[in-house]
Amino acid sequence: MKINKKSLCLYLVTDRAWLKEESLADQVEQAVKSGATFIQLREKKLALTEFIREAKKIKLIADAYHIPFVINDNIDVAMEIDADGVHVGQNDMNARDVRKIIGKHKILGVSAETVEQALTAEDCGADYLGVGAVFNTDTKLDAQSISFDTLKEITKRVRIPVVAIGGINENNILKLKGSHIDGVAVVSAILDRPDICLATRNLKKLAEALTEGA
């Protein structure tokens, strides 16, 4: 599966820090059926066997709803379960090397914080960029916020889609209007809400308004 811009509109990144009485798969399915358009499974602490088991569950959901599903950082897991692709950060494996491993038909997402990083990622074969943090975020405490001007300059300079990430919620999402991004990536704005379905529907409407004409 390759991506189109509409599939990046409301991009959910998982984080089991927000698990309550529900399973991660249950949370993801609620979000997907309510409007999430892309799923990234991010697991930094699970043992490999458990990671694969969780990934298979999420893949079943993504396949059922016909939306892209990528694995954060772990190429072995992505290839093992035949995920749609991989997302890597600046401190993970080099994007060009990742592309060689996963092949040209898989999705490759790359995180970027600067124009230079964005251009390099595009040159290395990235299909889309995750740019941020655009706002302060509790999800990644080491993430540095980037300016609106930097975000806008990245969308201007690259030809591939750009997704903004970092601290985005229903109260600040429209501050990104005019940046020409193709979507927003969120974590707690969906998973930490008492009603995941309602939160997703509300964010989807706002994300569509934000990206219209991007």
Domain 5-211 indexed as CATH 3.20.190.10: no
pTM of this prediction? 0.95
Which pLDDT belongs to residue 43? 96
Query: Per the residue annotation, which of 16, 42, 57, 96 is the catalytic one?
Result: 42
Let me know: does 211 contact 185? Beta carbons within 8 Å. Answer: no
Instruction: Kindly give the parts of the chain with pLDDT less than 70.
Output: 138-144, 213-214
**DSSP conformation letters of 44-112:** SSS-HHHHHHHHHHHHHHHHHHT--EEEES-HHHHHHTT-SEEEE-TTSS-HHHHHHHH-TTSEEEEEE
140 annotated active-site: yes
Catalytic residue among 111, 188, 193, 204: 111
Does residue 16 have an active-site annotation? Answer: no
Q: At residue 97, what are phi and psi to the nearest 5 degrees? A: -70, -40
Q: What pLDDT, on the 0 to 100 scale, is given for residue 170?
A: 97
What pLDDT is attached to residue 144?
64
Tell me what pLDDT residue 138 has: 65
Query: How high is the pLDDT of residue 214?
Result: 64
Q: What is the pLDDT of residue 137?
A: 72
Q: Are 124 and 95 in contact (CB under 8 A)?
A: yes
Tell me how far apart the terminal alpha carbons of the chain are, to the nearest angstrom: 22
The structure tokens 């694995």 sit at: 71
Query: Catalytic residue among 56, 140, 152, 201, which?
Result: 140
